[in-house]
Amino acid sequence: MTRVASQYYLEGMTQEAVARSLRLSRPKVGRLLDRARIAGIVEITVHVHPDIGLQVEAALVSEFGLDQVLLVNDQTDESGQRASVARAAAGLLRHRLTDGDVVALGMGRNVGAVPDFIGVPPPRAATFVSAIGGSPLVDTGVNPNEICRRLAEAFAGSAEVLYAPAYAETPEVRDAFINHDGLREVLERARTANVALIGIGNARDDSAVVRMGCFSVSEMRRLRERGAVGDILGSFFDVDGHAVVDGIGDRVVAIGRADLEAIEYVVAICSERDKGDAILGALRSGMVNVLVTNLSTARTVLELSGRS
């Protein structure tokens, strides 16, 4: 696959020429090129003219009163898109963080991809804190505690993690968790953060929290019936950004919506175009002031908002 892709994409050979060179059939070369894209050997990027991206960024800032929007080019596959968005968010952190900063962290695949692209920045005496618990069913790469550790290691800072599930079984169990001395101290530390890096969840039956067993499908459907389109740190909201309360929030082990609104620099990172309604609700909620996403997703959000 690599040899075929190199000759076709890097050397500019036609598929017929590649087939003759490697003694393959022309259809075989086509299949290998397709497999190379699926396997990630080949990544195709469409470079949009900068003026188009700037116009969309400006429209988002104007529409939602954001401090900053960072858009990246669209990629052809989900993993490549996530990597591109995570790389941009990592760049923001490298330029933004200074000694003494406290960074509150959410969970999810987008946030979990950011440490992969930090590189080796100058050391920062910053503290990285889990803003939500991490269920034992959460994969290591998306667990906020693991994300904390990896970012702290990359910046030579310190990590404070929550040894608790994201969602407790009952409100009483949740209260027991957050009143535990060690957990209460970590949550209080997260509330003092001046920077936050969070993902945006959706409210569908196949959402991450349903797959992890935090919610049942029936509970998620009940939330949707009440208008929920997404969540940030377990705080669900509708497409207008208003809180959707249905007892679910009483089980989340995390800082609250008001806590997040008080943080100076809240970066939401999202690479999935099908989360347009969730991103729209998040931007209207007042919990986010910096958005990192890709161009087509940004356009979807503007279309849903009535401004395109």
Q: For 13-22, 44-53, 108-117, which range has the lowest pLDDT when averaged over its residues?
A: 44-53
Number of C-beta neighbours around residue 264 at 10 A:
10
The stretch 70-81 carries a mean pLDDT of: 88
pLDDT digits (tens, 9 = 90+) for 261-286: 999 999 999 998 889 999 999 999 99
Where are the domains positioned within the chain? 2-39, 50-305
Judged against a pLDDT cut of 80, whether residue 308 lies above it is answered with: no
pLDDT number for residue 19: 94
Reference 143, options 119, 115, 172; nearest CA is 115
pLDDT digits (tens, 9 = 90+) for 179-193: 898 899 999 999 999
Reference 301, options 33, 66, 83, 125; nearest CA is 66
Residues 101 and 177: their CA atoms lie apart, in Å, by: 26
Integer-rounded Cα Rg, in Å, for the chain is 21
The amino acid that residue 22 corresponds to is L
Q: With 0.85 as the threshold, say if the pTM is over it.
A: no
CA distances from 274 to 36, 200, 202, 277, 291 (A): 25, 12, 9, 8, 16
pLDDT digits (tens, 9 = 90+) for 18-41: 999 999 999 999 999 988 887 778
Element (H, E) at 298: helix 295-305
pLDDT number for residue 167: 84
Lookup: tokens for 84: 């591109």
pLDDT mean across residues, the chain: 89
pLDDT number for residue 294: 93
Tokens 């969070």 -> residue? 198
Higher pLDDT, 153 or 204: 153
Higher pLDDT, 142 or 130: 130
pLDDT number for residue 153: 95
Judged against a pLDDT cut of 80, whether residue 62 lies above it is answered with: yes
**Max Cα distance, the chain (Å):** 71
Lookup: tokens for 2: 């690599």
Judged against a pLDDT cut of 70, whether residue 48 lies above it is answered with: no
Instruction: Tell the CATH topology of 50-305.
Output: Rossmann fold (3.40.50)
Letter string b/e over residues 83-106, b meaning 16 or more CB atoms within 10 A of that residue's CB: bbbbbbbbbbbbebbeeebbbbbb
pLDDT number for residue 45: 63
3-state class (DSSP) for residue 143: coil
Residues 32 and 19: their CA atoms lie apart, in Å, by: 11
Tokens 């667990």 -> residue? 143
3-state class (DSSP) for residue 105: strand
Reference 286, options 55, 65, 79, 12; nearest CA is 65
pLDDT digits (tens, 9 = 90+) for 235-252: 899 999 999 977 677 888
